[in-house]
Structure 1
Amino acid sequence: MRRVYDTLRRASCGSTAGLPTRRVRDGRNQPQPQARHQGRPARAGSRSSGRVRTAARPAPRRRRGDDQDRQPGGHHHRLLLLAGGARRVVPESEARPGAPRGPLGRLAAQELRFLHRSGRAARSRRGPRRRSHRQQDHRHGRDLVGVAIRREAARAASLAAERGARRPAGSVRLDFTQGENALARALAARRSPYIDLTLSNPTAAGFPVPSIPLPHARSYEPHPRGVPAALEAVAAYHGIQPERVVLTASTSEAYSWLFKLLCDAGDEVLVPEPSYPLFGYLTALECVRAVPYALRWDGEWHLEASALRFSGRTRAVLVVSPGNPTGAYLKEDERAALASACRAHGCALISDEVFADFPAFEDRRRARSAALYDDVPAFSLSGLSKVAGLPQLKLGWIAAGGPGAGEAVRRLELIADTYLSVSAPVQLAAPGLLAARGPFQRAVQSRLAANRAAFAAARGPGAAWDLMRSEGGWSQVLSVPRSRSEEEWALALLEAGVLVHPGYFFDFPAGAHLVVSLLPEPVQFARAAAILARVLCA
């Protein structure tokens, strides 16, 4: 059982099983001849696509009964996954000899760099910057991924000792032993009402939602990328062709699929700091390492591409535009510098644009959606949760752009066909839901403006706290005095009747910050702003 468990875990973390390689005069890796049962010698210059992720034919449109056809004893012949030996995937009677598979799609080598790599030797990597105040760092000293990758060089010496010890199932990738923090305990113990300035659920904020019933889907005709009408609606929203769109059940699932597409176990993606606290978990669950890069504040937030720490295992750079919670949009010059850096290091750009429809003001410097540029492999992420205020319907998407976009979508289609996670009713309703998003977005914009004004009015002249300028999104960041820790300020505010996020939830690299949501009802929000101003000035 231990061998079965280890085999399954290695497969889930991204197996590197493929053809062995040898060195030739030009220094490149070439495949060794195949095993005897495969029949033919290897072609010069080919390499196994299973080295990173299996490259296969586009997933066919499936009909009822196809799930049975794809079983080992079935008769479905159009989708054969042949990484690591045909007889491991197809029935013995159907296994056929063949040469090793080379890169499919016939893309130029430079366009395949971000999708297909043979070298996995990592350069020495500097560790992420640690915060100086342990009290405010809820993840201090914690490596979500390093302990999970058994092939990692740093772990090799301890493998022999570990083989004799049993490890509980489920303790591999995440640390499940952490207890509640002081704020969570205080909130659980509180019995009197409070004003929640952490609200992020639009369905709990009283906004209008489209009154479009979900269609009845009496038959099941799965489309791996999504039904054509939904793809066309999302493509029109982004201004691209439907062939470059893949539907997902959420933005989190979109991240998961992209990490499966781009990364092997132990690879890295660069993530902004401060930013959304879920990135560490999304990467860890794919056995990928999140390496933070700091955003710079000088009256507004900036991304400096020259400060990014690329390594030999960096596979993608993640940006959030506008940021959560910073509200900063990616600017044209920043995007151009970032694209140049990604090209130089063979990386893809992943752009989270779920809040893009909610700017606080106009700014000509802002970059467009990442999928609209053709200078770097890029993926734009969004979904109905923020665009239409419908998180309960579970519909997100990936829009691909840049060199190799067609091949990337083709490979994503195979991943999508493996899960088929998006429900048919929401796909059928997507065109109408996107077309009816206007009233919801106008109501949100009006409330965001009203609550920003209430905050500005609550802050008197010479106050010890300040509002950090936000360009958009649903959050507001406050800079607060360092006379208390962020957690102490949050506890004091909860005692006064207002719940806020301490800044360390979002990994602010320095200073003392609080983060509040701008979604609550304006009258309640104004009351909370007055309480907050009183407590921070005490």
Structure 2
Amino acid sequence: MSRTKATFLPPVMEARRWLEGVDFSDRPLINVSQAAPVDPPPQQLRQAIADVALNVPDAHLYGPVLGLPALKSELATQWSAAYQGSITADQVGITSGCNQAFSATISMLCDQDDEVILPIPYYFNHRMWLDMQGVKTVPLQTGPDMLPDPAYAGELITPRTRAIALVTPNNPCGVEYPAELVRAFYNLCQDRGIALILDETYRDFDSRTGAPHDLFADPNWADTLIHLYSFSKAYRLTGHRVGAMVSSVARLEEAEKFLDTVAICPNQIGQYAALWGMQNLGAWVSGERDEILDRRAAIAEGFPTLEQQGWKLRGLGAYFAYLEHPFAMDSDDLARELVKQAGILVLPGTMFTPDGDADGKRQIRIAFANVDRAGITELFTRLAGLNL
């Protein structure tokens, strides 16, 4: 069997196929399936991109495999301040999106039949890459609050375990992992000699003020922590594919082998765009965060209507609301029915959980990054009106 046949079809693309042949003329589709902004970058950033394309000849050539030095330096400086720690530019690698950062991390850490622990529900692309690398996903069940237990995780570690991978704010659940929980997982990984992969793709939309954890304050953080980030969400650069991997110099040297083979270098123009955004769009990103937090509040305020019908809000934050439905059908069947009966496209919990997982059959993910307050009200109205 080929490596690609070892895993499932891309969930977002599979869900889009459910739209074929459905007429939405009398009721516009509410698409809450994908966690990515659909609007282009702000005008000033688009102008900066145009200026780079016209006036920076090197932006059209191969660049350093681990990224633009100025962007690496800027990220190291800003992250050191934000996390009250110490990060140097040579501990930063720029990647072609955060998915590639995760892929490079696993390729650098793992061999065939090694193991990585993922809290359930997991981000499906993480599971897909592990499948295709022949790395075993070890599921870590979460509690009613959708938070993983480090003590339980410790029981799952074997001689083949190479890492625990956390996503906070979480995809798909939205929950923000408390700083003390992140620290407990870090301590566990440090004690057991494995890596902690911490994906903070949605850090810019965390509802908390200040640093969400203190891991970078540990002088020895690079021995254990591998931090992943995406510029796509904060600056609407999804199509430019720019992410980051913050780790030890030795681990980045290993990751460089993977990156050079797969893409040679990250998108040069996209890197200049990310740099310009970091240096100039702080206030704009803050406004984007305020809007997302307002949509989060709108879901919390409107949810009692659904709760009266048996729905449960299992997680909420960043771009996501994670719901438990009250119907006598599996969530993948429900998701297809929602397209036809309510004009709503969501992803079922079965796309974020192992085959046969009972919880996944009861859950759906709402990605509300592109739905404003009025759209959220309409979403709840349609869900409340279901007759299944």
TM above 0.5, yes or no, is: yes
Who is 1:435 aligned against?
279
**Equivalent residues of 2:91, 2:249 under 8 A apart:** yes
Who is 1:189 aligned against?
21
Task: Give the distance between the partners of 1:450 and 1:206, measured in 2 at CA.
Answer: 21
Cα-to-partner distance string for 1:278-307 (whole Å, 9 max, x where unaligned): 11211123332222211212xx33221111
**Equivalent residues of 2:309, 2:326 under 8 A apart:** no
- Percent identity, aligned pairs only? 22
Change (3 A) 1:469 1:279: closer
- Give the 3-state SS of the residue equivalent to 1:189 in structure 2: coil
1:506 equivalenced with 2:352 (yes/no)? yes
**Equivalent residues of 1:317, 1:348 under 8 A apart:** yes
The structure 1 segments of at least 4 consecutive aligned residues displaced by more than 4 Å after TM superposition are 175-186, 361-364
**Equivalent residues of 2:322, 2:366 under 8 A apart:** yes
User: How far off is 1:443 after superposition?
Assistant: 4.2
Who is 1:377 aligned against?
224
Task: Give the distance between the partners of 1:304 and 1:252, measured in 2 at CA.
Answer: 25
Who is 2:5 aligned against?
174
1:488 equivalenced with 2:333 (yes/no)? yes
User: How far off is 1:423 after superposition?
Assistant: 2.6
**Equivalent residues of 1:208, 1:443 under 8 A apart:** no
**Equivalent residues of 1:231, 1:246 under 8 A apart:** yes
Change (3 A) 1:229 1:182: closer
1:213 equivalenced with 2:63 (yes/no)? no
Who is 1:31 aligned against?
none
Of residues 195, 198, 202 in structure 2, which corresponds to 1:355?
Answer: 202
1:285 equivalenced with 2:128 (yes/no)? no
- Give the 3-state SS of the residue equivalent to 2:251 in structure 1: helix
| Equivalent position amino acid for 1:272 in 2 | P
| Equivalent position amino acid for 1:275 in 2 | Y
Task: Give the distance between the partners of 1:384 and 1:358, measured in 2 at CA.
Answer: 12
Change (3 A) 1:393 1:478: same
Of residues 308, 311, 327 in structure 2, which corresponds to 1:462?
Answer: 308
Length, aligned pairs only? 358
**Equivalent residues of 2:205, 2:293 under 8 A apart:** no
Quick check: which one's helix share is greater?
Answer: 2
1:527 equivalenced with 2:378 (yes/no)? yes
**Mind listing any 5+ residue stretches in structure 2 that lack a counterpart?**
81-86
1:200 equivalenced with 2:40 (yes/no)? no
Cα-to-partner distance string for 1:26-65 (whole Å, 9 max, x where unaligned): xxxxxxxxxxxxxxxxxxxxxxxxxxxxxxxxxxxxxxxx
**Equivalent residues of 1:354, 1:387 under 8 A apart:** no
Task: Give the distance between the partners of 1:317 and 1:506, measured in 2 at CA.
Answer: 17
Question: For the pair shown, which has the larger CA radius of gyration, 1 or 2?
Answer: 1
Task: Give the distance between the partners of 1:244 and 1:182, measured in 2 at CA.
Answer: 37
- Give the 3-state SS of the residue equivalent to 2:76 in structure 1: helix
Change (3 A) 1:360 1:221: closer
Task: Give the distance between the partners of 1:482 and 1:531, measured in 2 at CA.
Answer: 15
RMSD between aligned residues = 3.0
| Equivalent position amino acid for 1:430 in 2 | A
**Equivalent residues of 2:121, 2:352 under 8 A apart:** yes
**Equivalent residues of 1:207, 1:444 under 8 A apart:** no
- Give the 3-state SS of the residue equivalent to 2:20 in structure 1: helix
- TM-score, normalised relative to structure 2: 0.82
Cα-to-partner distance string for 1:206-265 (whole Å, 9 max, x where unaligned): 774633225144244632322221111121232121121011111111112112211112
Cα-to-partner distance string for 1:101-130 (whole Å, 9 max, x where unaligned): xxxxxxxxxxxxxxxxxxxxxxxxxxxxxx
- TM-score, normalised relative to structure 1: 0.60
Task: Give the distance between the partners of 2:137 and 2:318, measured in 1 at CA.
Answer: 23
**Equivalent residues of 1:458, 1:533 under 8 A apart:** no
Which is bigger in relative contact order (C-alpha 8 A, separation at least 6)?
A: 2
Task: Give the distance between the partners of 2:149 and 2:200, measured in 1 at CA.
Answer: 19
Who is 1:515 aligned against?
365
Cα-to-partner distance string for 1:376-396 (whole Å, 9 max, x where unaligned): 511110121123221111111
**Mind listing any 5+ residue stretches in structure 1 that lack a counterpart?**
1-147, 149-170
Who is 1:4 aligned against?
none
**Equivalent residues of 1:321, 1:355 under 8 A apart:** yes
Who is 1:335 aligned against?
182
- Give the 3-state SS of the residue equivalent to 2:117 in structure 1: strand
**Equivalent residues of 2:173, 2:365 under 8 A apart:** no
Change (3 A) 1:226 1:319: same
